[in-house]
Structure 1
């Protein structure tokens, strides 16, 4: 694997490489062009699983990984943990998902990763002598983001107290969890909270939205495939189940999973093994499974649209999230938390809060977030959200 040659002394040469990991194809190409012009050897991956496979196959020396925190298959912290365990010499720096600006220094600050900060953020050229690690101020954005990753379940209503109590109990175990509730109630947030409270918190949290991936591709995404397994399979790839090894697999919208695939998911849950498409080897995986749905799975079972054995295997520990209309005691605290996120200097007036309290919220917390974000825009440069800014 080629890499940048850096001259330290008259005869000493050290070589480095950079791997850009982001689903943003345009951003990958832009960084490729910018860094290649400075003689870095640049490699690209559109997902966490793809990056791990790339690193394994190429086995670079001291790679610098530019990591987009918004990966389609792995949580950024989980990806970082896997990379550091498998490639301990790797330097990891976080990049903005849209602009490519580096948000922080490497997980173990080094001269090379520090120069990437200077090169991409400031457009400078690569100079090796006199390089300094990133300052505490430059690392602050990622530090703050990590701090906000836990404790995102907001509310002190009776419904939320019950939910929080059972969440803490089940998080400490490897029990399979089925989260139910209407659309927009925050099932994905609860799943992440379970993961972050568990002993797997430093391992991958891999999300698979069963309704967002076409049926023809879902099996390959979940189980991976070997080179030549189907048209377009130009190289082998691990699946998202394998990518979640040691961590948590979140199967969102499980009620939309095709019947033909449900049997294979059941076998994975029962045996703890996966087999790539086109492969013959069974691969052992250690994965905790959390599933979520807004559908009535029992009704789907009765109508032969969902396997009964899979339902009972998933619903070992069911948790139901109450709709917002049944936990209106949490409305003010939810609104305050969202306002602080959208614009910390804008306050919600009593008139606006009263209007919010009279609404039935069919879209639940997602709808509340949209209403408040729109209100912040309508308030313009004002410091207060008034009743006239609330559009329902």
Structure 2
């Protein structure tokens, strides 16, 4: 059994980044250990699946990255992948080519082991555990900004660059944010990114889907209620707003909030207080609000279906996410990312990519994700997604 080799980590306030290289190829393990021997990286290696699991239990790694050579001598790579994800859900698992030492990211052309790999590793880790990156303002926030950029929001198009820039600017403040865009563009990912690189990142991130909760229940769900407020209220209960104290409240599909409840929401936003249903006391709460909608709120205001004062109170800092059809240059990297997630090491053929590029994607990134997930099932034991596997 090989012994763990750890790189020197500078004594900083940031947490170290753990990485474990799993491969029966000793030369590949050594090369990766050398390349990852940088400040903040703490690297270990294992020559088999069983040894890797033992190493993970020994070191107690909670966040980081596992670089996996699928040519394991003792375990099926998919079985090993499932075991690791079950026990260590915060570990990012990336697949390597045992012979070339290249990182497979679901494309025909693997990414060479280079500076690009280091950038990808940092970004992939930031997707799952952004708190290991620095937060704050100024130069210290640059790494966190990189985490925002790839926390499920993949793409280098001009439209996405504007989203990244806006997210960076507003994350460090407590400003109310309104995220708009069609269904499936990833508004929830932007909301999560804002929270996770803010000063509130270690506090609750509470999600309320205003369209999913029946109108009679939404008020009590948001504001809570006192015992006896209505039939069945056998004990007092705090609402979602109170549950988000110190953190972020994400109001998804805010355009579906009943008009009768909007005045109470406006009061909460302006005064930072909530009054539980059936109660008389005003309870102070410290909550940052991020809202999202696929509706045209201005049109709803004109139709008297949404309060104008609430609209402007929510729209202090708007972020518009473009639909996928307006950033088709991002489609290949998105598809490759989903392929890597659902079937590690599976490539995307040029024929399959051509089919994807011809589609209009009315369901946006969500539709693309579902399409690639379906293709990863249809591909079976093959290692390449072909046009025949793309069902639209």
TM-score tier (shorter): 0.5 to 0.7
Q: Tell me by how many angstroms 1:141 deviates.
A: 2.7
Q: How is 1:145-224 mapped onto 2 (pairs within 5 angstroms)?
A: 148-149=127-128, 150=130, 151-224=151-224
TM-score by length of 1: 0.64
Measure, in 2, the Cα distance between the counterparts of 1:254 and 1:239. 17
Q: Tell me by how many angstroms 1:334 deviates.
A: 0.6
Q: Match of 2:302?
A: 302
Q: Tell me by how many angstroms 1:215 deviates.
A: 0.3
| Cα shift readout 1:274-313 (whole Å, capped 9, x = no counterpart) | 0111111111000000000000000000000000000000
Structure 2 unmatched ranges of 5 or more: 1-56, 63-83, 94-124, 131-150
Q: Tell me by how many angstroms 1:152 deviates.
A: 2.4
Q: Is the 8 A contact 2:200 2:247 kept in 1?
A: yes
Measure, in 1, the Cα distance between the counterparts of 2:228 and 2:259. 25
| Cα shift readout 1:48-85 (whole Å, capped 9, x = no counterpart) | xxxxxxxxxxxxxxxxxxxxxxxxxxxxxxxxxxxxxx
Query: Are the structure 2 counterparts of residues 153 and 137 from structure 1 closer, same or farther at C-alpha, using a change threshold of 3 Å?
Result: closer
Q: Over the residues paired in the alignment, what is the CA RMSD in angstroms?
A: 2.4
Q: Match of 2:357?
A: 357
Q: Match of 1:142?
A: 90
Q: Secondary structure at the match of 1:141?
A: coil
Q: Match of 2:141?
A: none
Q: How is 1:20-59 mapped onto 2 (pairs within 5 angstroms)?
A: none
Q: Tell me which stretches of 4 or more aligned residues in structure 1 moved more than 6 Å.
A: none
Q: Tell me by how many angstroms 1:138 deviates.
A: 8.7
Structure 1 unmatched ranges of 5 or more: 1-103, 110-135
Q: Match of 1:242?
A: 242
Measure, in 2, the Cα distance between the counterparts of 1:231 and 1:339. 50
Q: Match of 1:381?
A: 381
Q: Is the 8 A contact 2:180 2:293 kept in 1?
A: yes
Q: Tell me by how many angstroms 1:273 deviates.
A: 0.2
| Cα shift readout 1:128-150 (whole Å, capped 9, x = no counterpart) | xxxxxxxx999633344985334
Q: Tell me by how many angstroms 1:378 deviates.
A: 1.2
TM-score by length of 2: 0.64
Q: Secondary structure at the match of 2:319?
A: strand
Q: Is the 8 A contact 1:152 1:193 kept in 2?
A: no
| Cα shift readout 1:156-214 (whole Å, capped 9, x = no counterpart) | 11111111011100001000000000000000011001111111111100000000000
Q: Secondary structure at the match of 1:219?
A: helix
Q: Match of 1:12?
A: none
Query: Are the structure 2 counterparts of residues 148 and 139 from structure 1 closer, same or farther at C-alpha, using a change threshold of 3 Å?
Result: farther
Q: Tell me by how many angstroms 1:371 deviates.
A: 0.8
Q: Match of 2:231?
A: 231
Q: Secondary structure at the match of 2:208?
A: strand
Aligned residue pair count: 263
Q: Match of 1:270?
A: 270
Measure, in 1, the Cα distance between the counterparts of 2:268 and 2:240. 13
Measure, in 1, the Cα distance between the counterparts of 2:181 and 2:314. 15
Measure, in 1, the Cα distance between the counterparts of 2:88 and 2:347. 26
Query: Are the structure 2 counterparts of residues 338 and 286 from structure 1 closer, same or farther at C-alpha, using a change threshold of 3 Å?
Result: same
Q: Tell me by how many angstroms 1:336 deviates.
A: 1.0
